[in-house]
Structure 1
Amino acid sequence: MTESERAGDQASTENTGDAPAVDTPPKRKSAFGDPDASLLEQMGGVRGLVYSSIPILTFVPVNGFWGLTVAIWAALGVAVAMLMWSLLRRENPQPAISGFIGVAIGVLIAWRTGDAKGYFLYGIITQAVYGGAFALSALVRWPLVGVIWGLIDGRGMAWRRNPPARRWYAIATWIWAGLFAIRAVLQYALYLNDEVNWLGAARIAMGWPLALVAFAATIWAVRRAMAHENEPAAARDASDE
């Protein structure tokens, strides 16, 4: 065998060999893409529920028995204790920090107004602002659920060029707008009637339970939007006709 023939055989062997395996990064799980995660886990787990509920469960009865000043210090003390506990255990402090900020603003308003119902005013205003923002985003065809999910999932705003996907994101956005509006309207009615005890009950009852329902509906709508995003352009155009 000549040198040229041996070189040709070597080249043929190299060309027919298996290509080197390329390691692919593990697929990132998301709140909407992990079927094994419960809704409560996807929304921050039991800790988020505890951090949002305990200060209210402290403030309302303490105010009823010992007055506003003691209730203010009791709610602040509980919020600080939960924050310190989270830091000492080296857990994600975000739920505790958010809870502490909300409590601090609430007790500040209550202290400034001299009325226990002021503790709930910040939450009512926040719900109204959120509801207005979500409704406005849907009206101008930039539904916030789509914007937020596009940033989380890394797909950007390509979904806006897909009318069926945009409609599903708008549905999810209107669900949240309705939730925030219901909370704001009903709690403001209790606020006007000085129903402090019922305000506390409404804050808890209309908090996580309703949010879980809205979150489940959001997952349902977002998955349908993503199905339209993943389908071929020809099938998408046919479904629009």
Structure 2
Amino acid sequence: MNPGHRPARALRIEDGAGQAAQESLAEETAVALLYNGLPHAVMMATPADLEDFAVGFSVSEGLVAAASEVRVVDSVHGEHGISLQMHVPQAAFDALSQRGRSLAGRTGCGLCGSDTLANAIRPVRRVQGRPAVGERLRAAFDELQANQPINARTGAVHAAAVRDADGRLHVREDVGRHNAIDKAIGAALRAGSAPCELFVTSRASYEVVHKAATVGIGLVAAISAPTALAVRLAEEAGLTLVGFARGARYTIYGRTDAGWL
């Protein structure tokens, strides 16, 4: 069985007539993230590319400064889900212990579990360098579309792609859009290259932009609209934000040094 999907018997109705069918359904399971034995988050996720997820989540959430600071030491599959046991340096663990977040995340959850407003809306880092938006935007989404095997079978998952400093595009899928982003970021980091651009099959929310800025990504492009908070955050981070990226059409939001685009 592919870890991203499983077969299921179904009855397909068309024009009032029923026909037995076998469908592929996206897998969704609880994935617990533990650091030095301390539970931090339980996310509903697709159980594929979990090491990418662990590394990407750790860096994009600012729990560690670099991928080299987190190590997956065990992956325990149990009756109720999967536990990812990770080790981080003592300084990172001490900061994590004070963070005040015990996250039980629904599918696609971004801020679930933050216990204060200050923890929910966190300051964003300033991105160094801003990639130009050009024809390769369409090429990136074409490649993203062509590399979604789970969604091709199930029609039920999001996808994200990260272009790294070496020009490679890392595509990952998940039932949660934030999870897909973490997986794609983790894939780039584990390949030893810096993430530069992010492409997502969803809207561009606050959390999407914040994760991108945290790892130094200078361009975020989404097939749907951004939120107003996402645009404000992109301006604060100096990040280029693109919405409605479909074919040859797209919309650029926010300010550059030259003013409104």
Whether the TM-score (by the shorter chain) exceeds 0.5 is no
Which structure shows the bigger proportion of residues in strand conformation?
2
Q: TM-score w.r.t. structure 1 length? A: 0.25
Larger radius of gyration: 1
Higher share in helix: 1
TM-score where L is the length of structure 2: 0.24
